[in-house]
Structure 1
């Protein structure tokens, strides 16, 4: 496994690369980093060139001075692909990383081969009510605290990726040409109806619900999830 620091021109992104073969980019969720995939990287590296990225403002990647948006983060993904001279990649995105994967696939479709989104929601209200209220409350707390704390302001921008910055719509999803696998847990924080609607909007999608699993199904049932990923990618 090799560490890389990649310049975007105004900030630096960190990623770990392991294995060889077709590229497979891993995108983590909100307030996480690439280590969320600790149960996937060793397995997937046997078959693919795994690029485990810390998204802008997360882990060992810089936040930058500009406001954190999915547009900027999607452009970061393109920068990473260009750095490794990759025309396109497979993507696994978890939670907010799944939303980022949807954004990349809809706005830069020629750069995505196959897409796997895990616990993704293309609209903020795709979250169940309790979780969405928590996001709103935390955002307002950080907004007030941000007037006196730069760290709180930056964290507010990260939390806001789950609310105001999530600007995907039905047209965006219909523009996605990549084969897409939608994976959700039976007890996910994402509304079941929302996942089903997302599945119907994606032209080349399959949806799988993992029984007795929550939002963190990759951690709870890694062997099941890894097998699903491998089977899906092999069918390409």
Structure 2
């Protein structure tokens, strides 16, 4: 893999991992390469790799663009103490190889629905980060019975500068242009497929968000790749939602704020959703 291609794929990792601070933890982690926990399932024309941990009520965790199971090394052991954690490499990412040209968030949401069906799971809690948050929203929209409660961080509804920081868009578009001029190898085609997903999708309407029935915790950093006002808009458009904007935080809330993130999401899953209105707003 060329240095330029590596840089491009790193930019596709909108999950925003800072390997300068946490590379050792990720390199040493068995998550994403655990033969005792790993399985393959034939899902919609490709072999989806997934791992399971813990026991109890099911919890589905969904990674971001260009990521893998390994992105959640701080969440898997925490939540496996309380739930049966199901975490998969999404289509065309990690060990879930898919060489086809088509890739969309809708396809990935349908893949996750099929995976849950194959595991005989009718309903579960869901955590989604970045593109995984988009997939979580679409899962709740398209397959509402599958999602009991949903926690998303760093998700967006559309790909323009009203949702995503304009400097980040410029950076990704520049890298896409550089990548498009390289030899069309399997690696460059794969990287381009993921890059196109970032630049051209998603397209989720506020009307679609309004159909989400499950309680939803919407999370973002105050200096996230996704603009805080857009995160607020997502929360405002989901009937049963809480909003949590984390101060002094970027996109990687499950890494750099792992303890607060894990506790807040766990509390959200465990406590009944409450409507706060009228005089209750003083509380």
Q: TM-score, normalised by structure 1?
A: 0.95
1:11–1:64 contact (8 Å) kept in structure 2: no
1:91 aligns to 2:126 (yes or no): yes
Tell me whether 1:142 sits opposite 2:175 in the alignment: no
| Cα deviation code 1:125-170 (max 9, x no counterpart) | 211111111222223333343x622221121111222222312111
Instruction: Find the counterpart in structure 2 of residue 14 from structure 1.
Output: 49
- Alpha-carbon distance, 1:64 to partner: 3.7
Matched with 1:28 is: 63
Secondary structure (helix, strand or coil) at the match of 2:61 reads strand
Alignment correspondent of 1:183:
219
Distance 1:169 1:137 in 2: 27
Aligned counterparts of 1:32 and 1:163: Cα–Cα separation in 2 = 17
Unpaired runs of 5+ residues, structure 1, are none
Question: Does the residue aligned with 2:171 lie in a helix, a strand or coil?
Answer: helix
Q: Is the 8 A contact 2:221 2:228 kept in 1?
A: no
Matched position secondary structure for 2:200: coil
> Once the two structures are superposed, what CA deviation does each residue of 1:153-209 show, in whole Å capped at 9, x if it has no partner?
121111222222312111211111111001111221111111111111111110001
Match among 198, 207, 212 for residue 234 of structure 2: 198
Displacement, 1:9? 4.5
Residue 156 of structure 2 is aligned to residue 115 of structure 1: no
- Please give the residue correspondences for 1:168-179 in structure 2 after superposition, counting only pairs within 5 Å: 168-179=204-215
Deviates more, 1:4-13 or 1:77-86: 4-13
Deviations 1:59-89 (A, max 9, x none): 1111242411112111110111011100122
SS in 1 for 2:94: coil
Offset of residue 51 of structure 1: 0.7
Bigger mean CA deviation after superposition, 37-46 or 61-70: 61-70
Which segments of structure 1 move beyond 6 Å, counting only runs of 4 or more? none
Number of matched residues?
Answer: 235
What does residue 268 of structure 2 align with?
Answer: 232
Matched-pair contact (CA < 8 Å) for 2:44–2:111: no
133-142 vs 110-119, greater mean Cα deviation:
133-142
**Alignment partner for residue 90 of structure 2, among 35, 41, 55?**
55
215-224 or 1-10, which moves further after superposition? 1-10
Match of 1:73 in 2: 108
| Residues in 1 aligned to 2:117 and 2:133: alpha-carbon distance in whole angstroms | 21
Q: Tell me how far apart the structure 1 counterparts of residues 88 and 189 of structure 2 sit (CA, whole Å).
A: 23
Alignment partners' CA distance in 2, 1:64 and 1:6: 17
* Deviation for aligned residue 1:17: 0.3
Instruction: Judge which range, 51-60 or 160-169, deviates more.
Output: 160-169
Q: Could you say which residue in structure 1 is the equivalent of 2:258?
A: 222
1:166 and 1:9 mapped to 2: Cα distance?
21
Contact 1:19 1:47 in 2 (8 A): yes
Aligned partners of 1:10 and 1:64 also within 8 Å? no
